[in-house]
Amino acid sequence: MFVALRDLRAARGRFLLITLVVTLVALLVSFLSGLTAGLAHQNISAVTSFPGDTVVFADSGAAPSFDASSLTQEQVAAWQSAAGPDGTVDPIGISHGKVDPSGRAAVQVALFGTTGTAFGNRSATRDGTVMLSTGAAKDLGAAAGDTVTIAGHPFTVAGVHGDDWYSHTPVVWQTLADWQATTPRAGAATVLAVSGVPDQSALNATAHTQTTNIAGALSALSAYKAENGSLTLMTVLLFAISALVIGAFFTVWTVQRMPDIATLKALGATSGSLVRDALTQAAVVLIAGVAVGLGITSTAAAFLGDALPFVLSPATTLLPAAALIALGLLGATFALRFLFTTDPLTALGAGR
């Protein structure tokens, strides 16, 4: 520890440069993690709030897709009759449309038609009314009691609840009957959210449907898989780059310190103590750099507000920070192999 701290003070410029690199990597990783989570939220948050544990799609002969699914009344009835007293089947209509607020330009939204209170206080429970998500209310400039127009039909805003998004558009909730009236070509429902229905495989065969769980339903969103996969790959690559860069820095630093290391070993320092000393040095640099990077990210997120789809949470800050520190220490560990191969006689001139 003593030598590590002395090194940090003696070579401040060098270690400040390494810390700056760590800060930039931490800033990139945390910002990209927050952006990935924010984009995912604006893509799938309405789907992840589905009730039940299974999502039923119309069988189109391909993988489940919200865009291609259109259930008939007969298919809905088949699942409802098979549910029995212990099962639940909630038809959900999903489509994109435009909402015209009074005195303002039309806004593109996702229309969700539901029955009952399957989605809690976000569901519209009376025909002729809609519930707005917070994003839709902001875009429309509407509040409870206002009137909006959907496909030529006037609706009264019953309230504003939930930050729900579907495919990067804010959600407007309707009753299923109103949804069917405003999107007559979309069928009786788009999907069903079910639970407690037995023998689903046989029912899929007879009703010409296909099922998946809630997590699997996320892949049925056309843009989610490619978008989330690309951003996640970028984040993983940044983690790998950080380990390589930090490992390279400490490898060079260790090689430059070979005469000093040999001298310390000649004076009786053990390889274990030198490893602990070097890892402490790396940990100080990593923690300082990551802390500054997270501080910048948190500050930027506060100023950005709703300008970007950004989520600031422990999963997008603390988790990447811990991973960066762990990978940085791993990279630094590979640089310490020279500590075990250095000949103490080098310090006494035997190797010259």
Label residue 242 by pLDDT band (50, 70, 90). confident
Q: What pLDDT, on the 0 to 100 scale, is given for residue 343? A: 64
Is residue 284 scored above 80 in pLDDT? yes
Question: Closest Cα partner for 294 from 314, 271, 279, 274?
Answer: 314
Is residue 35 scored above 80 in pLDDT? yes
Q: What pLDDT, on the 0 to 100 scale, is given for residue 5? A: 62
Token digits for 138? 């902001």
Is residue 351 scored above 50 in pLDDT? no
pTM assigned to the model: 0.80
**Cβ-proximal residues to 239 (8 Å cutoff; 6+ apart), any chain:** 29, 320, 323, 324, 327
Q: Do the Cβ atoms of 172 and 100 come closer than 8 Å?
A: no
Is residue 13 scored above 60 in pLDDT? yes
* Residue-wise burial string across 309-319, b where 16 or more C-beta atoms lie within 10 A, e elsewhere: bbbbeeebbee
Label residue 295 by pLDDT band (50, 70, 90). very high
User: In whole angstroms, what is the distance from residue 94 CA to residue 113 CA?
Assistant: 7
Q: Quick one: CA dihedral 62, 67, 72, 75, positive or negative?
A: positive
Label residue 54 by pLDDT band (50, 70, 90). very high
Q: What pLDDT, on the 0 to 100 scale, is given for residue 341? A: 66
Is residue 352 scored above 90 in pLDDT? no
User: In whole angstroms, what is the distance from residue 214 CA to residue 188 CA?
Assistant: 21
Ranges 134-148, 168-182, 221-235: which has the least confidence: 221-235
Question: Closest Cα partner for 110 from 165, 188, 184?
Answer: 165
Amino acid occupying residue 213: N
Q: What is the pLDDT of residues 19-28, one digit of tens each?
A: 898 899 889 8
Q: Determine how β-strand 169-175 pairs with β-strand 129-132.
A: antiparallel
* Residue-wise burial string across 72-106, b where 16 or more C-beta atoms lie within 10 A, e elsewhere: eeebbebbbebbeeeebbbbbbbbebebbbeeeee
Q: Please give the average per-residue pLDDT across 228-248, as a whole number.
A: 81
Label residue 4 by pLDDT band (50, 70, 90). low
User: In whole angstroms, what is the distance from residue 259 CA to residue 18 CA?
Assistant: 22
Label residue 296 by pLDDT band (50, 70, 90). very high
Count of CB atoms situated within 10 Å of the CB of 205: 12
Token digits for 145? 């009691």
- When the pLDDT of each residue in the chain is averaged and rounded to a whole number, the result is 85
